[in-house]
């Protein structure tokens, strides 16, 4: 029996213990569940020597299940936030070898012929896994989701790499059903949206790339072509934010790299900035809960980041500048203890929670399911359809107006207002980074350079204001109290003296920024 069409799958990475626990979970409320079926699957993947199929985002494999072999072509194998929707063509074959004559869809045959040409195909790698499947059907509509628990190994040459994945395939109904099932199943089990298909995992392993502790993820540049609709642009911005949030959540849980919480907070701030920049075209009711949760998690990640800044940028640089009679040992010990024992453990506990899982899955569902649509807004369709280059100019102008509002009162700003101006500039910078592909680099760079420099100055001023909380953060008692308090006094005094000069730089840079041509006008 052959099958052809587009499939929708959500792929999640879990550790083996979490996989086993979810397998044992009971029924999901609102869904009826079939009995589980377990099979051993052996899949062999093919490509040309120069990986022409991989480059074209096509996977080609034959899979053995029992005594049967099935040939599968998947076109469009990219994965976004764990979600993939390739065109799939499956046909039975007689054995381990490929047989293109069985392909019934002429478009698939033409695509393969075009990509492969006369190049010979050979086996690249294989996967051997146990797949346990379960069918879930919702009781009040046609939603049907197939759960697949995959546990096994990728094999290439003499090596192997473990593979543990939970895959949900939408068999019928709305794609929202996949996310509802995921929330009900995962609860407080930490997960990662799989960034790669099994084929891409195989390629990467065959090339020698090993699975290690994930590195902090820095957002990649977003590129729009002129004429792209506002709706598609907003979706792409959300996808970028979601990936940065998800990847760095895993980093914070898996390592103590200080860049992890920083990039997690950046991802959440970029998300909240996107909600502000696109506010005129969104449904406020569906944005509000996502925005609230993003703010909460950003504040928590920021609590780790704030201590890292105090240690690495406020206190440690002064160790060699201070008089020899001062000791920073007690102060730094207290800061590290506050970070590791209290702040970090609290943040990790929340990042592992069902609440954060729900937020991530709700954000993914919002992104891929057009959650911004507002049935009460009769003009929304035309607003979402307008070209992004027209919209971006208005959005940047609105945000710049907020920055200018603070700048006009620069001399009279209180310390909290300086912090507010810094946040307004940060939103402006994120907006520029979202939209800069629409403008000439020669016009964007001068303005962005000025904004970054001004933002760095305000950031330092904010860090120094935060340093004044050192006595409360580091309540050292006993014989080390005097040494710690002396170090704190020196740190605050030194940086406050620096602030006076830095504030003059802020005023000069603000004037220069105002005089820099606004590229969006």
Segments in the chain below pLDDT 70 = 1-7, 77-79, 81, 211-213, 342
Find all residues with CB under 8 Å of 437, minimum gap 6, and list them: 221, 222, 223, 224
CB 451 within 8 A of CB 443: no
pLDDT digits (tens, 9 = 90+) for 262-305: 999 999 999 999 999 999 999 999 999 999 999 999 999 988 88
pLDDT of residue 146: 93
DSSP 387: B
pLDDT at 343: 81
pLDDT at position 379: 92
Under 8 Å between Cβ of 446 and 516: yes
- Which tokens go with 185? 């199943």
H or E stretch at 116: helix 106-116
Residue 371 tokens read as 């959650």
| pLDDT for residue 209 | 78
State the pLDDT at residue 395: 96
In the chain, CATH 1.40.20.10 sits at 230-515
CATH superfamily membership of 3-206: Hypothetical Protein Pfu-838710-001 (2.40.320.10)
Name the packing angle between helices 344-351 and 230-254 (round to 10°).
130
pLDDT at 464: 87
Q: Which of 385, 397, 418 is nearest to 277 (CA)?
A: 397
Cα–Cα distances (Å) from 337 to 85, 106, 319, 469, 492, in that order, read: 47, 65, 19, 16, 20
Of 264, 238, 265, 234, residue with least CA distance to 251: 264
pLDDT value of residue 211: 60
Output the pLDDT for position 4. 53
Q: How far is CA 226 from CA 280, 383, 437, 448, in A?
A: 20, 16, 9, 21
pLDDT of 386? 96
Domain with CATH 2.40.320.10 in the chain: 3-206
Are the CB atoms for 433 and 277 separated by under 8 Å? Answer: no
Calculate the alpha carbon distances from 390 to 160, 237, 475 in Å: 51, 17, 54
The whole-number pLDDT of residue 212 equals 62
CATH fold, domain 230-515, is CHAD domain (1.40.20)
């Amino acid at each position: 029996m052959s099958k052809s069409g587009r499939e929708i799958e959500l792929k999640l990475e879990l550790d083996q213990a979490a996989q086993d626990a979810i397998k044992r979970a009971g029924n999901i409320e609102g869904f009826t569940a079939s009995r589980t079926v377990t099979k051993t699957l052996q899949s062999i993947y093919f490509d040309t020597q120069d990986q022409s199929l991989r480059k074209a985002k096509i996977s080609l494999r034959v899979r053995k299940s029992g005594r049967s072999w099935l040939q599968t072509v998947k076109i469009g194998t990219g994965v976004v936030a764990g979600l993939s929707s390739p065109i799939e063509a499956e046909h039975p074959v007689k054995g381990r070898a490929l047989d293109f004559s069985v392909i019934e869809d002429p478009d698939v045959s033409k695509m393969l012929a075009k990509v492969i040409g006369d190049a010979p195909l050979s086996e690249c790698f294989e996967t051997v896994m146990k797949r346990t499947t379960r069918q879930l059907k919702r009781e009040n509509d046609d939603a049907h989701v197939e759960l697949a628990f995959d546990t096994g190994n990728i094999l290439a040459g003499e090596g192997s790499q473990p593979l543990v994945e939970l895959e949900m395939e939408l068999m019928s109904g709305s794609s929202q059903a996949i996310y509802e099932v995921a929330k009900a199943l995962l609860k407080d089990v930490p997960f990662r949206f799989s960034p790669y298909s099994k084929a891409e995992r195989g390629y990467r392993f065959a090339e020698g790339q090993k699975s290690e502790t994930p590195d902090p993820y820095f957002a990649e540049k977003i590129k729009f072509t002129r004429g792209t609709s506002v709706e598609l642009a907003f979706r792409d911005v959300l996808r970028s934010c979601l990936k940065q949030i998800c990847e760095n959540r895993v980093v914070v849980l898996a390592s103590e790299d200080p860049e992890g919480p920083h990039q997690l907070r950046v991802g959440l701030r970029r998300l909240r900035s996107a909600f502000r920049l696109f506010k005129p075209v969104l449904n406020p009711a569906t944005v509000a809960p996502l925005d609230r949760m993003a703010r909460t998690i950003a504040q928590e990640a920021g609590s780790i980041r704030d201590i890292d800044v105090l240690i690495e940028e406020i206190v440690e640089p002064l160790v060699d500048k201070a008089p020899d009679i001062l000791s920073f040992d007690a102060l730094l010990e207290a800061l590290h203890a506050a970070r590791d024992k209290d702040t970090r453990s609290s943040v990790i506990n929340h990042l592992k929670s069902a609440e954060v899982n729900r937020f991530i899955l709700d954000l993914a569902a919002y992104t891929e399911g057009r959650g911004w649509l507002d049935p009460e807004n009769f003009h929304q369709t035309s607003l979402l359809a307008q070209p992004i280059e027209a919209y971006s100019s208005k959005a940047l102008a609105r945000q710049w107006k907020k920055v200018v509002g603070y700048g006009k009162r620069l001399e009279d700003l209180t310390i909290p207002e300086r912090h507010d101006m810094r946040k307004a500039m940060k939103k402006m910078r994120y907006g520029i980074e979202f939209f800069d592909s629409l403008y000439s680099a020669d016009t964007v760079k001068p303005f962005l350079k000025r904004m970054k420099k001004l933002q760095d100055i305000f950031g330092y001023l904010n860090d120094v204001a935060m340093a004044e909380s050192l006595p409360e953060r580091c309540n050292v008692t006993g014989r080390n109290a005097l040494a710690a308090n002396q170090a704190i006094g020196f740190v605050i005094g030194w940086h406050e003296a620096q602030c006076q000069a830095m504030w003059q730089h802020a005023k000069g840079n603000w004037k220069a920024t105002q005089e820099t041509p606004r590229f969006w006008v």
